Amino acid sequence: MQKQKTTTIKNEENHDGADKTTTANVLVTAAGGIVAQGIIKSLKLANASDTSPVKYKIIAADLSAQAAGLYRCDTGILVPSASSSNYIDSIIDVSKEQDIDAIYIGSDEELITVVNAKERIERETDAKVLANPIDVIITARDKWKTFEFLNANNLSCAASSLPEDNEKFIQEFGFPIVVKPREGYGSKHFYVVNNRDEMKYATSRIQKIGWNPLLQEYLKDDNDDRNSSSFSNTEFTSGVTVDRFGKYIMSSISIQKIVKSGQTYKAFIDRFEGIRRSAEEVALKLGARGAINIQAKLKGSEPKIFEINPRFSATCPMRSTAGINEPDVVFRNVTLGEDIKIYEYQRLVCLRYWNEVYVQYATYENTHLTGKVGNIGNHNSNNNSFVLNYF
């Protein structure tokens, strides 16, 4: 029997009685990771905005008491690993206990697990799972399936091959060639090989960990107009949001990024019209709903897509600062039914740096023992951690 829905979303009139602000409880998983922390930053930016129609109470979840995000949100809660048999039960329990209105999935490891349980989660709780359909995730998470989809739909992409056709691929493209896992993410087991011996080594390393290798055309950075050697190994990532019915683009924004250890550490947010239009076309044809990230490099003047991440990106706070807050946009569209279209954003340069979160030792120990941050009820308000403004 389906449970009776009693939504926790509330509308509160502002002091002038004219506009209303929606308050909502949201759960962000994998709060120790860079994707979840990007979502949290974006939600906090929405909270800080005088014009934002939604104010978020952020509940952070992670499997480890060492996750920084647990201590920088309203509430922090420990949950089992996504591979655990009781992970979904735990997410449901937290959603009921905290009256969660929407769930943001903060890691690749949890993505398929949560989306496979989406129907159950939404049936047993008041929460909406803010994620793409499972078929979109399966296609995008497998880089060979991604290539097959793009190629079949005449969408410009980096040429790819399975290892058994390596000789034909070498003859057509020559070295260097990219070797990476079909199911990987970030820079895990990413290789640029220059001969057959290096290719053999790379494929064997990937197979050794139980993954499947993929060969991909190496796209050189020979079209960079900024004339700086620091722009070697640049690529573009486009954040696109599609409405909940998959009918139209709500927003798109492209970033030229410099990657270090698999993560963006410098970014140039600009118009990049051709890159953006290409990404929008892919998002709609793939059947995306909500947030999706499409990565490309230029070959001449043509964007060549080489990877799709069917989730929110670690770079979403950069986009939020520029004027497109993807976690906020998707929440408002899916949960509140708003029709949103954003066409403008600021041109910015983002230079990333390391920072620290400090937690009282007693708070950390208590979190490890009890599974919740602190002992001050359900509202943390950052009382048990601090960030120094020393940069």
Architecture of domain 161-215: 2-Layer Sandwich (3.30)
Q: What is the dihedral of CA 342, 343, 344, 349, to 10 degrees?
A: 90
pTM beyond 0.85: the answer is: yes
- Given a cut of 70, whether residue 359 has pLDDT beyond it is yes
Report the C-alpha gap between 110 and 182 in whole angstroms: 18
Ranges for all domains in the chain classified under CATH 3.30.1490: 161-215
What DSSP letter does each residue of 298-315 carry, written as one string?
Answer: EETTEEEEEEEE-S--TT
Where b means 16+ CB within 10 Å and e means fewer, 228-256 reads eeeeeebbbbbbbbbbbebeebbbbbbbb
Identify the band that residue 184 occupies on the pLDDT scale cut at 50, 70 and 90: confident
Give CATH 3.40.50.20 domain extents, the chain: 10-130+356-386
DSSP per position, 17-76: SS-EEEEEEEEE--TTSHHHHHHHHHHHHHHH-SS-SEEEEEEEEES-TT-GGGGSSSEE
Helix (H) or strand (E) holding 172: helix 166-173
State the average pLDDT over residues 343-357: 95
Tokens of 296: 């490309």
Residue 128 to residues 25, 51, 142, Cα–Cα distance (Å): 11, 24, 25
- In 82-227, DSSP assigns E strands to 102-104, 128-129, 160-161, 177-181, 191-193, 213-217
Q: Among residues 140, 125, 154, which one has the least CA distance to residue 289?
A: 140
Q: Which residue has the higher pLDDT, 375 or 370?
A: 370
Q: Which CATH architecture has domain 10-130+356-386?
A: 3-Layer(aba) Sandwich (3.40)
Give the fold, CATH level 3, of 229-351: D-amino Acid Aminotransferase; Chain A, domain 1 (3.30.470)
Lowest mean pLDDT among 278-282, 326-330, 362-366: 362-366
Q: Decide: 32 and 107 in contact? Cβ < 8 Å.
A: no
Name residue 384's amino acid.
N
Say what the pLDDT of residue 307 is: 95
Start-to-end Cα distance in the chain: 55
- What is the layout of strands, in order, in the sheet containing 249-260? 302-309, 290-299, 234-242, 249-260, 263-270, 348-351
* Rounded CA separation 46/58 (Å): 12
Which region, left, alpha or beta, applies to residue 301 given φ > 0 means left and ψ of -120 to 50 means alpha? alpha
Segment holding 89, helix H or strand E: helix 87-97
pLDDT at 19: 62
pLDDT tier at 61, thresholds 50, 70, 90: very high
- Distance CA(9)–CA(309), nearest Å, equals 30
β-strands 75-78, 54-62 pairing: parallel
Here the tokens at position 83 are 């591979």
SS3 state of residue 73:
coil
Q: For 251-291, what is each residue's pLDDT tens digit?
A: 999 999 988 877 888 999 999 999 999 999 999 999 999 99
3 state DSSP class of 98: coil
Distances from the Cα of 56 to the Cα of 40, 53, 65, 346, 364, angstroms: 10, 10, 23, 24, 24
- Quote the CA–CA distance of 90 and 88 in Å, as a whole number: 5
Residue type, 132: N
On the 0-12 / 13-18 / 19+ scale of CB atoms within 10 A, 307 is buried
Confidence check: pLDDT of 220 > 70: yes
- Are the C-beta atoms of residues 5 and 95 closer than 8 Å to each other? no
* Model confidence at 5: pLDDT above 60: no
Question: Quick one: CA dihedral 81, 87, 91, 93, positive or negative?
Answer: negative
CA 123 to chain centre: 25
What are the start and end residues of each CATH 3.30.470.20 domain in the chain?
A: 229-351
Say what the pLDDT of residue 367 is: 95
C-alpha neighbours within 13 Å on the C-beta side of residue 105:
26
